[in-house]
Each structure stands twice: as structure tokens, then as C-alpha cells.
Amino acid sequence: MSLQWHEFASKDELDLNLAHYIAAQLQQAIAERGTASLAVSGGRTPAGMFKALRASDVEWSKVYITLVDERWVPNDHADSNERLTRENLLQDGAAAANFISMVNDAATPHAGLAGIEARLSVIKTPIDILILGMGDDGHTASLFPNAVELEQACASTQLVAAVTPPVAPHQRITLTLPTIVQARNVLVHITGTGKKELLNTAMQEQKAITELYPIRRVLDQVKSTAQVYWTA
Ligand code: 6PG
């Protein structure tokens, strides 16, 4: 079974439709279980969708929010995914109150891992909605091709793993592959024809090279339900 693609004519249309879908899914989770959980990715893509989601009528006081992955920088650093999320999604006090940070004051993600693991335990898995981005190298979350800890982060029984990407300015902390694929609803949010072609290549290549495309390792396990939201 192949991935479900949703293509939109513009970034604004993509952001509005994805935000509308996420809001509806969060409200359905709240109706069914009393609370909902949302894990968002960072990078440059999501800011517009975050703003549209912030404007929705989600009952944020009932939603636990965290990150799929984070750069190991202070949460006011220009490269912080938490800063991006706070500035664009968490303007509502209730949403901000339920945000679970993926950084602490440990010097490295390896040193901080146990504390973050304990902090995240308030989120009951499976996470309801999990939004993935994809890098131009096929990485998703902080599962990077050729990263030393890629196999560990793909096999870990923990919620999070520490990763030192092969080429990136920061060490990372990431939800592990088992945590990601457990999510009830995995959404891939990408833009540009280059990423569409890369994702199609990753999904068509023979199994043997899936380690080159970590997003393939994720989507192989959720492709019957995962949805891709994309615009050129
Ligand atoms: C991160 C995430 C990554 C991100 C992609 C897409 O950078 O924190 O690890 O998975 O979602 O790199 O990033 P862009 O939206 O900037 O292309």
C-alpha cells in the first residue's frame, strides 16, 4: 500500500488544510479520551502551519505538546525548535502550559537524556498526532543517514535518544523510531519538488538501502496510515 499524498496549490493552502486536519484530529482524541497529544517537528517548514493551528478552536488545555526532535541548544537560541514552536504555536497560555520541553541544562543530550525521558513520561504513548519533516538528505526527526547512533535510535526501547548528526551544527535529541511509529497518526509535512522526488525515491528503492533514507524506515512501518501534505 502506498502513502496517501495530499497536494496543495500553495504553501498557505497547505498550511491551512494541514492545520484544519490536525485540529479536527486533536478534538476527536479529546472527545474519545479526554486529552490529546501532539508532537511537532521543527525546521523552516512548519511556522505558517503553526500559526494556522494556533488560530483553531482546539481545547489546548487538554493537549500535551512536545517536539519530535530538538537541537541541543538553549530554548531561546535561533536554531531552537522549542523557540520556533513557542513563537508560532504556543501563544495561548494553555498550550504553553502543556508544552514539554526536550532540552534541559545538561551539557550534552547524552547527559540530559534521563531527565528528558522522565519529563516526557507524562505523555502516554501512543502519541495521537505526530508531524514529521524531512531534510534534503532524507533524514526525519533526528534520524540522520550515516549517523553513528542511527541504529541505536531506531532500535531503542526508550522514548528518546541522543544523536550526533554527521554534518550539522548541533547535537540532537530525538524521539526514537519505535516511539514515532507507535503514533496513532503520522503526518509528513514537506514542500518543494525536490523533497517530493526524494521521498518517492526513498519509498521506491529496494530495501537494501533504507539506511540511506531514515524516513523510509519510519514510513515502511506506518505507510498504510501515514499521510503526506505537500506543495511544490
Ligand atoms: C529539524 C528536524 C527535521 C526537519 C527537517 C525539515 O531540523 O529539527 O530534525 O526533521 O523537520 O530537517 O526541515 P526544513 O523544514 O527546515 O526543511
ipTM exceeding cut-off 0.90 for this assembly: yes
E strand or H helix at 227 = strand 227-231
Peptide linkage before 169 cis (omega within 30 of 0): no
Percentage of residues in the chain with pLDDT exceeding 70? 97
Q: What average pLDDT does range 184-209 have in this prediction?
A: 88
- The model's pTM: 0.96
Residue 224 is predicted with a pLDDT of 81
Ligand 1 atom closest to Cα of residue 139: 10
Q: What is the pLDDT of residue 204?
A: 85
Per DSSP, the residues of 123-155 read SPSSPSEEEE---TTS-BTTB-TT-TTHHHHHH
pLDDT in tens, 121-142: 999 889 999 999 999 999 999 9
Q: What tens digit of pLDDT does each residue of 108-124 get?
A: 999 999 999 999 999 98
31 alpha carbon – ligand 1 mean position (Å): 31
Q: How confident is the model at residue 186 (pLDDT cuts 50, 70, 90)?
A: very high
Question: Which residue, judged by its Cα, is nearest atom 12 of ligand 1?
Answer: 135
Instruction: Report the pLDDT value the prediction gives residue 89, as an integer from 0 to 100.
Output: 96
Domain ranges, ordered by start, for the chain? 3-224
The model's confidence at residue 162, banded by pLDDT at 50, 70 and 90, is: very high
Q: First-to-last CA distance in the chain?
A: 24
Query: From 3.60.15.10, 3.40.50.1360, 3.40.50.300, 3.40.50.2300, which CATH number describes the 3-224 domain?
Result: 3.40.50.1360
Instruction: Determine the distance separating the centroid of ligand 1 and the alpha carbon of 5, expressed in angstroms.
Output: 19
Single out the residue of 44, 178, 33, 42 nearest to residue 102, CA to CA: 42
Amino acid code (one letter) for 34: G
Q: Please tell me which residue, 69 or 2, carries the higher pLDDT value.
A: 69
Residue of 45, 144, 218 best suited for mutating to test ligand 1, as the one with most atoms within 8 Å of CB: 45
pLDDT number for residue 1: 59
Measure the CA–CA gap between 60 and 58, rounded to whole angstroms: 5
Q: How far is the centre of ligand 1, averaged over its atoms, from the C-alpha of 134 (Å)?
A: 6
